Chain A
Amino acid sequence: DTAVSQTPKYLVTQMGNDKSIKCEQNLGHDTMYWYKQDSKKFLKIMFSYNNKELIINETVPNRFSPKSPDKAHLNLHINSLELGDSAVYFCASSQSLALSGELFFGEGSRLTVL
Chain B
Amino acid sequence: GEDVEQSLFLSVREGDSSVINCTYTDSSSTYLYWYKQEPGAGLQLLTYIFSNMDMKQDQRLTVLLNKKDKHLSLRIADTQTGDSAIYFCAETNSNSGYALNFGKGTSLLVTP
Contacts and interface: CB of A to CB of B under 8 A. Distances in A.
Given A101-B33, A101-B48, A4 B42 contact: yes
A104 B43 CA distance: 8
A53 interface: no
A43 B101 CA distance: 8
A25 to B, nearest CB: 12
B98 A102 contact: no
Given A41-B105, A101-B33, A55 B98 contact: yes
B71 to A, nearest CB: 19
Given A40-B104, A41-B104, A42-B1, A100 B98 contact: yes
A6 to B, nearest CB: 9
A49 B36 CA distance: 24
Contacts, number: 60
A100 B33 CA distance: 11
Interface stretch (B12-20, B60-68, B76-84, B85-93): B85-93
B45 interface: yes
A83 interface: no
19 contacts: A4-B42, A40-B104, A41-B105, A42-B104, A43-B88, A45-B99, A45-B100, A55-B97, A55-B98, A58-B99, A90-B43, A92-B42, A100-B100, A101-B100, A103-B35, A103-B100, A104-B45, A105-B43, A108-B40
Given A41-B104, A55-B98, A104-B45, 7 more contacts: A40-B104, A43-B43, A48-B99, A102-B45, A103-B45, A106-B42, A107-B42
